[in-house]
Copies of this chain bind each other. A is one copy, B any other.
Amino acid sequence: MTTRWLTPKEQRAWRAFMAAKILLEDAIDRQLQQDAGMPHLYYGILANLSEEPGHKLRMTDLAEKSKITRSRLTYAVTRLEKDGLIRREDCAWDKRSSFAILTDEGMAVLERTAPGHVETVRAAVFDQLSDEQVEQLETIGSAIARALEGGETPRPTSDEVPWRRRSSPCSGP
């Protein structure tokens, strides 16, 4: 089956999306590194904990909620634990599990840095979008996420395809 290349319109959308994603993550990382001394991912981990009853979550659940691998979470929690923002606690009823718990200091950091973070996001994203576009963004984002969360991206059966010049081999950077 011959490759369904991206149309010019799709290419434009893809590039715009990728550019937004990269620039946005860079900007947020810079801002949070400045103000909170941690990258966005780590901030997100704290934020995720802060939403839970008791400010605690099992490692696996926290990894899933943060959409990262367990291994990556282990490293992050170790670092945040060193900083005193999280502490671990063994699970009583399942000795394999352990909890990550937001400390008071961790909560304080969150409280102190949340306004700046929200302001950055707002300036870059929501100040730029109409009410309607915010809805569209949610719909589109959800559609993409849904496609990826379920079916584990059934890897396409790659096959030979003649090269077409004058049309970039990439669907985007």
| Cα–Cα distance between A24 and B51 once the two chains are bound (Å) | 25
State whether A13 touches B134 (Cβ < 8 A): yes
Copies assembled: 2
Q: Does A22 contact B (CB under 8 A)?
A: yes
Q: Does A78 contact B (CB under 8 A)?
A: no
Chain A: number of interface residues, binned into ranges: 35 or more
Q: Identify which of A20, A30, A146 gathers the most chain B CB atoms within 10 Å of its CB.
A: A20
CB within 8 A of A169: which of B4, B114, B143, B148?
B114
A109 to chain B, nearest CB (A): 10
Give the interface SS of chain A, mostly helix, strand, loop or mixed.
helix
Q: Does A123 contact B (CB under 8 A)?
A: yes
State whether A24 touches B129 (Cβ < 8 A): no
Residue ranges of A at the interface with B (Cβ–Cβ < 8 Å): 3-6, 9-10, 12-27, 30-31, 34-35, 43-44, 46-48, 50-51, 65-68, 110-111, 113-129, 133-149, 153-156, 158-159, 161, 163, 168-173
A-B contacts, 9 listed (Cβ < 8 Å): A6-B118, A17-B141, A22-B67, A24-B148, A44-B172, A50-B168, A66-B173, A67-B173, A123-B147
